[in-house]
Structure 1
């Protein structure tokens, strides 16, 4: 049966989100609420809907970007990951058909390249690499292969704790003995000041989101964007903003602390308490985020995450050269 593709329009919003919520690998980044929070002049949305017998079988959050005068159809720049959200029961034949239709759409609409950033495989409810095979068969190549640290959550936080390196267990005890308290909080402004200062000093960059954007996202996703703060005598000294990716995965999106309190190890205790919360909420894994940038690893960051018992999975960006 023939697969068709068309550009997303506003009237498709409900059908799009209903499909993402039931899909095998949909994430918060596939949600139209997330994709739509940007101002209209920031990105040129070019999201696509794939159908078979008038039934949605895939959606692709995407945008038109221009590089060196070339039009590129790319995973939406306002998200960390994208690619096609597909059904749990996706067939091999449909995977091939979706990618074939995507590639021909790129040709017919005068794109020079198609660039896709795929979610880690562990984000899926049912592990399937049909789409990976289909992309490879159609001529897509790896542009980047970043590594993200994933911690599989056990039945209790104590079961995870025994897998921590002794240095991390010692750090947790030190933070507790020092009087550090961990709690969920809505003090985004206080955390943002810590984050902004750290990124400026260490990397000379600003956070991906402005404070207003973060507050707006929290308003849009009150149950899926969660801030945990570390406090010493009622002063926030560290924090982690977590994004609930889907029903399986929680992602640490922003992590920061006040340098003068680093020796108290508030970040170690923060993650321990976040794991405890995530297990209570029945999530399956915690994504610390990537420790590579353009495939250049930060070895210290890798070791820090490994010491919690994490392992690495790929976050791939693939590309098709059309002309």
Structure 2
């Protein structure tokens, strides 16, 4: 290959590259602990791994966390996000070369589609959207868009009077807010809430979330609102270098009566103010992004958040180019 990509090669991930993978993810402009092998491997029995490492003159410069199902490569079905993870050496030209090499490999494998979950820019340590330009060049189609609600601590929105009243109600109820390891207590609240309201279970089982929190204690944390030493609400936080993200949110009936989540979010927003750029409440969409839960997104926006897009693209692999 000519130009900046002449020395780039694509290497299928194997366990022998585990340390190389994790080291690059930790240093990348757009690394995320979801791409750490300690996280990815908790559900390795459910997804056929088809991840790749990109090497330039023998040194790793990029990663693609991915799984394969039939004739489709996903980046990644088992993760909220996917996409190419790159270090400072991946210029726009090198990114185009990486895509050419990747698509050539997929053609050889008989892959006909690539589903690509782009990492939202709030998670970038430094700008890293070269992949979006490459997607455009390869005629990628946007097939899903969710919106997450995010507070930018450098330019926060105005908190509503309703949320302020909720915080005062929680204070009046003398709730105690704390980091906790009482995962079973919160998982009961979460499971009951999801089952009664939506007829579903949490994405992770209790055993899985405990396992992941033990593997990545600096990234996965539980915070509780307690009344009379009893958990009445909780939030599971996923912490990255730039974003404090609320992954799971739930309150018991007793907690809802005293606005426990309003009080807990007030506590958390202040806790992360000086260590992170963004506080993210998560998405408020259903049906592949086509439905916006207006009540839910309004509740989040009333804390001063605004929308960030989560985009998913489809690239049709032209197998006739072989």
Give the alignment partner of residue 173 of structure 2, picking from 175, 178, 197: 178
Q: Mean alpha-carbon deviation: is it higher for 142-151 or for 81-90?
A: 81-90
Confirm whether residue 36 of structure 1 aligns to residue 41 of structure 2. Answer: yes
Segments of 5+ residues of structure 2 without an aligned counterpart are 1-5
- The 5 Å alignment of 1:80-91 reads 80-91=80-91
Q: Mean alpha-carbon deviation: is it higher for 79-88 or for 209-218?
A: 79-88
**Residue 127 of structure 1: SS of its match in structure 2?**
coil
Distance 1:235 1:24 in 2: 41
Give the alignment partner of residue 307 of structure 2, picking from 282, 305, 312: 312
- The 5 Å alignment of 1:144-223 reads 144-154=144-154, 163-223=158-218
Cα RMSD (Å): 1.5
CA-CA distance at 1:89 after TM superposition: 4.7
Residues 88 and 301 of structure 1: is their aligned pair in 2 closer, same or farther, counting only changes over 3 Å?
A: farther
Distance 2:296 2:132 in 1: 28
CA-CA distance at 1:112 after TM superposition: 1.8
CA-CA distance at 1:260 after TM superposition: 3.6
**Residue 36 of structure 1: SS of its match in structure 2?**
helix
Distance 2:196 2:166 in 1: 25
Distance 1:78 1:227 in 2: 22
2:120 equivalent in structure 1: 120
User: Which stretches of structure 1, 4 residues or more, deviate above 4 A after TM superposition?
Assistant: none
The superposition leaves residues 189-237 of structure 1 with CA deviations (integer Å, 9 ceiling, x where unpaired) of: 0000011111111111111001100110011011211101001111100
The superposition leaves residues 4-42 of structure 1 with CA deviations (integer Å, 9 ceiling, x where unpaired) of: 11210111111111111110111011101111122x432
Give the alignment partner of residue 278 of structure 2, picking from 273, 279, 285: 285
2:131 equivalent in structure 1: 131
Distance 2:164 2:88 in 1: 39
Distance 2:40 2:272 in 1: 25
1:26 equivalent in structure 2: 31
Distance 1:316 1:104 in 2: 24
Mapped contact 1:153–1:275 kept (Cα < 8 A): no
2:3 equivalent in structure 1: none
How many residues end up aligned between the 2 structures?
311
Distance 2:190 2:129 in 1: 37
Mapped contact 2:29–2:128 kept (Cα < 8 A): no
Give the alignment partner of residue 17 of structure 1, picking from 19, 22, 40: 22
Confirm whether residue 249 of structure 1 aligns to residue 254 of structure 2. Answer: no
